[in-house]
Each structure stands twice: as structure tokens, then as C-alpha cells.
Chain A
């Protein structure tokens, strides 16, 4: 039997302070998340300085709870994984400085983890049989990436957003139609009462880089529609706008995924990131995969949001590959996938 590798993972790239204990990359012993969503709701979005302040206040409790829930101690941990980018620099720095000090004092190896790699790896946790290669769509408030996962830790980015991330468009549209923050869950909720074909919003195509995304045009189209209704004194149907906007996002995502599945003949597809917990988008992608006989994977909502378990999963494969950080590890806010 292979030796057990127990990793303590720390994540603080945006507005969740999170820590987890994961064994062999797939067995989650604890997954503690301290969300700041209620605090940022007051401001209509994540305020970086407030996020950083909350991280430093919560981080030790979150780590202690993760160890306790996993019924383990720091001594029994084999390595510490930490998100070092991409994300909000002030927020990342809290996790990075904490993890470095912890690893140094406890004499444990430190593994630097890419946040997006974490999201992709969230799929390994509940799908024990899932192994690369597969196609993965990462959609969240900060990222929209279509990625070929060639092997553990090896990625080929097919496309990414030119402007807004998909989740960002959700937040902006939600604000414009008076739903508030966070936009994703709120739009999905009211969309069930609306008609997705009520309003025809554009499905953006991005020039010759066929796998890139663009959501700012769609967002502007929604804002223009709202404005023109106001000018003409037409009452806005919030549910119809939400449903039609969501359909437009979903269609673009499905279209890109279909295209890539056709071109690269991949037989497995996974979705990841906060937007992956949107039921409408998830089901549309599932349907597209089923039509092609492609295996469809998705993490549970708790693993779609920013969390420590996914960082622990990614850290395990980096650990096996011998990747280690030294004491000068810094946060890299615009870290690219596949860069180390």
C-alpha cells in the first residue's frame, strides 16, 4: 500500500479564509471555510482591504479547527499547501506569510498552489476515478478558463476571458436589476420564475481565438436594455432579464465546450469554480456532454466555492512531483496557470 500523505492546505485568495486536511489528494478529512460574504454584501462586492483584515483575524482559528476536525495535529502533517496566486494580493499575503511561518516552525515542506489548479483539482475529491486527460471549464467571480488538463499539474489553456469573468458579469447584472451581491445565486433563484427566451441578448464571439470568452458586451447589452425600458417607461421583468442573461452566458459556455470536445475528441469533461454551482449552467453542460457520450464531472457546491480541500488536492500532486517553495515565497496576484 502506498504511504499516506497528509496535507494541511490554506486558501485566502479572495473573501474566504479556508483550511483543510486532505489525505492523498482525494480523501478530505476536514474542510473549514470562514466566509466574509455578509461583510462584503454591505459594499456590493469584495473590498480587498476588508477581506485582508478579516483573513488575519480568522486564519489561526480556521487552521486550528481544520486540524481538530480531522482529528490530527501539526506534527502528523506531511506538508503544508498554500494558494499563492492568482487573487487579491493583500488577501493572498496573509495565507502565504502564515503558511511559510507554520511550515518553517513545524519543519514541514511547503507547497505553493495555483488557485485555478485548486479549482480544477476539486473534481478529484468526489470522483475518485477521474484522472487526466480531460477538458475543464473553470468559471468563477474572477476567472473564466477553458483548459485541457493533460496530466496532474500540466495544463494547456485553450481560452480565457478577454474582459469580465462570467461570475463578475453575474454580479454586475444582479446589481443593475436590484438583486444585490452575490449575483450568481440571486440571479439563478429568480431566473426560475422567468422566461429565458424573453429577451435576446448577444452571444459574443471573439475573433480568431475561438476559445476566448467576452462577457462585458453581454453585460452592456443588459444595461442598455434596462436603460431603454426606463426611457420608454416599460416595466422591467426582473425574472425574465435574469433568466435571459443566464441563458446567454450558458449558451456561450456550452458552445465553447462543444467545440473543444469536437476538436480534441476528449471523453471526459469537468466544470469547476463558483459558477459551477449554478444549476442551470451545470445542467446545460451535462446535457451537452450526454449528447456526445462524454463523461461529465462537477464538484458539490461546497467544493465549487473557494475552499482549502481543493488546494489540498492540488498540493498532493505537486508534492508527488517534488514541487516545494522556499522561505522567500511571495504572493503573485496575476499568476498564470501552468507557471511555477
Chain B
């Protein structure tokens, strides 16, 4: 079975193709150009290099959020357009889960941190012990203080990765009470190969959806919705 994976949830644009348990190709770019300009030319390059006929693809996995709202939509719209033309299903892979998958084989707790702005982070807690991928805390958007408190409570060694590391590094160094390390550049950011492998697992578990039903999981309302909800709440309190 062949699976195409896309990740444009953060600063990185990444494309990968896996066949069963083999990674056929991966292309990752971390450059100032927008995902809209890079993603399809990158896919085209991978397809050409692999001499791939897109119709051989069995499903498309996309890093479905959280992340940059626009980035998520470029990835999702690309996946939806491909899936519509090829009549394939889409696997919506949780972005933070896929990031944790980068650290496969690591002992202790894995804590991806994505910069969510407004002093928050998209994060979650995972273990990958004895080859078993377990979610300790599902992906969420919280203040850095909150996740660090939980890490201290669990009391195990922790590995941090993600584009949020550079944002929260000082806070982590001052406040984390357990042993910790930061992931190296080769594993630090989103990689479509992780999305692909996790996507394959989810596909086999029957978690693929029709292309038309796919939508990103932002984990956050739009600002207008938040303000409106607050107004409605305040009104009720009065």
C-alpha cells in the first residue's frame, strides 16, 4: 500500500511517500516562501524522482492541525483536491502526535511544543516505550506554565521538540524540575515521513475519511468567534 503525506502546519513544508514499511521519498523545506508556492512544486519533484503515477497512491495523509490556520488550510485543500481527482480517502493525522512520532524509540516523556502565539503552545505528552505509542495527554492548546506543571508532576525524563522550543527555552530551563533534553535539528520540526507512518497506522485502523468531509482541526476558535462567545457569556452573567 502506498500513502502520500503532506505537512504544512508550521514553518516547514514537507512531502513524503511511503510504501508499506518503506519510506520511498521525503522532501522538507524550511524557507521563507509560502506553502502555497512550495507545496505542489515539491510534490511534483517527488513524483518525478520516484517515477510515480499518482493513481498508484492508496490514500493521502495530511497533518490536520493544530498549527498555522492558513498553513493547515493549504495542506488540507491540497489533499482534498488530490483526493477528489484521484478518488481517494484522506487520513487526518494530529499534528502534535506526528511531531512526537519523530522521537520514536526515545525513553521517557516526549513533549512537542509548537508556538501558538499569545503565550500559548500547541502541545501534548507522549511515551514511545517498548515500541508502543501512547498518548499521555492529548494534543491541546495551553499556556507553557500548564504543560510544564504537568511534566513536573509526572516526574519522568522529558524530550522537547518543535518550533516552540526556541520560544519557551528560557522558561523551560528555569522551571522544569525533571531531567530534559532538546531534540536535534534533524528531528525538531514537522516531517511528512512521520505523518505518513502514523497515517498508515490510522488508515489500517479504519480512520480515513471521505475527502469532502475532511477539515483541519484548529483547536482554537477564530478571534471573532472567541469575542462573540465572551460577549454572550458576559451578557448571561449580567
Contacts and interface: CB of A to CB of B under 8 A. Distances in A.
Contacts of A90: 69-70, 73
A68 B8 CA distance: 31
Interface string A63-90: 1100000000010000000000000011
B222 A98 contact: no
Contacts of A93: 36, 70, 73-74, 77
Interface stretch (B97-105, B111-119, B160-168, B208-216): B208-216
Given A60-B212, A105-B86, A43 B224 contact: yes
B20 interface: no
B37 A330 contact: yes
A39 B227 CA distance: 15
A104 B43 contact: yes
Interface stretch (A51-59, A155-163, A243-251): A51-59
> Interface residues of A: mostly helix, strand, loop or mixed?
helix
B183 to A, nearest CB: 29
Contact of B81 (A52, A61, A89, A101): A101
A74 B77 contact: no
A43 B211 CA distance: 30
B82 A101 contact: yes
Interface residues of A, number: 36
A100 B76 contact: no
B79 interface: yes
Nearest to A99: B81
Contacts of B73: 52-53, 55-56, 90, 93-94, 97
Contacts of B228: 42-43
A327 B44 contact: yes
Interface in B184-236: 211-212, 214-216, 218, 222-225, 228
A94 B77 contact: yes
Given A60-B80, A64-B212, A94-B73, A53 B85 contact: no
A101 B223 contact: no
Contacts of B37: 328, 330
Nearest to B41: A327
Contacts of B215: 53, 56-57
B84 interface: yes
A302 interface: no
A101 B80 contact: yes
B54 interface: yes
21 contacts: A52-B73, A53-B73, A53-B218, A56-B73, A56-B76, A56-B215, A59-B80, A60-B211, A93-B77, A94-B77, A97-B73, A97-B78, A98-B77, A98-B80, A101-B82, A101-B85, A105-B54, A105-B82, A105-B86, A327-B44, A328-B38
